[in-house]
Amino acid sequence: MTKICYSQDINLFIKDIKEERHLEQEDSFIELTSIIKGIKVNNLNQVKIKEITTAVDDNGNILKKMESFFGDDYSSSNQLKIKLEAPSRKSSKISSLEGVIKYFSPSESNGSKIIITNLLDNYNKNLLRKKHSDIKLTLIDKEALQKLKEEDEKEYNKQIEKLKKEGGLGEELAETVGAFKQFFEGFSNFGSKESLSFYIEDKKDEIVEIFIYNGEGKKMNYGSSRMGKNKLTINLREKVASNWKIEVLIENEKSLKEYKFNLINIILP
């Protein structure tokens, strides 16, 4: 179970409030920029808003949480944005704002940072097969499969069948070779020239981030594309080499803490 901490362990301050009104009330919102004090926040200790449990204005109206423009992913900054439905124009303050902050501290020692070396030797394999039985992260050799398809359709079909049997793919795809072929062929439709393509099966959304590093330890990620919940392509700054490595950050019990917060009487602009 994730460790639950209480508001006295951290301090949350509201730094700024942005209000945006539209003709349709459901499109109007306020965005609160908060500052976290009391815990270390950096690349190794990240934070995000897990949930807003209460948000009520001084007229008793409940303000629903809205997703931020850039999503609600983990941040290495101690500033967090909280986006809520806009209160009525008659409201002068948010009477109560309560929620939970997730605090993620990945490391190899607590099992939430997994490093895969010898990248080129791990194509068409589930990279997490020895670590997580309930998560699949298969590095797909997209170029080799595409070339094989063009040159030898029969051998291509054999390779797809082999991947299916060896468990590099999972239950979320239909149990037919044709469906697997269609899945792989879809990879050729997105991503840059230099890229890595992955099949992901992560029902609990525990994978936080995937980083690619070259032999000198420089991060090679150059944006990414997601197609549905199973396909991910990470664009690269350079052509991949054998001494590159993949670093996967995954939430687990040892890497997570949760902090409850409660703010009152937040004056609106």
Confidence label for 1 from pLDDT (cuts 50, 70 and 90): very low
Here the CATH number for the domain that contains residue 35 is 2.60.40
- pLDDT of the residue at 216: 95
- Statement to judge: residues 128 and 86 lie in one domain: no
- pLDDT of the residue at 25: 73
- Statement to judge: residues 88 and 164 lie in one domain: no
The sign of the CA dihedral 214, 219, 223, 228 is positive
Which tens digit of pLDDT belongs to each residue from 69-103?
666 789 999 999 999 999 988 999 999 999 999 99
Q: Which of 215, 217, 220, 222 is nearest to 242 (CA)?
A: 215
The mean pLDDT value of the chain amounts to 84
- Statement to judge: residues 124 and 225 lie in one domain: yes
Structural domains in the chain (count): 2
Buried b / exposed e along 67-96 (16+ C-beta atoms within 10 A): eeeeebebbeebebbbbbbbbeeebeebbb
Q: Per-residue pLDDT averaged across 1-25, rounded?
A: 73
Which tens digit of pLDDT belongs to each residue from 169-187?
555 544 444 555 565 555 5
- Statement to judge: residues 19 and 91 lie in one domain: yes
Question: Which pTM value belongs to this model?
Answer: 0.80
- pLDDT of the residue at 157: 75
The whole-angstrom separation of Cα 143 and Cα 94 is 54
Q: In what order do the strands lie in the sheet with 3-5?
A: 3-5, 256-267, 93-104, 46-57
**Is pLDDT above 80 for 136?**
yes
Full residue range of the structural domain in which residue 10 is found:
3-106+254-264
- Statement to judge: residues 77 and 190 lie in one domain: no
- Statement to judge: residues 76 and 28 lie in one domain: yes
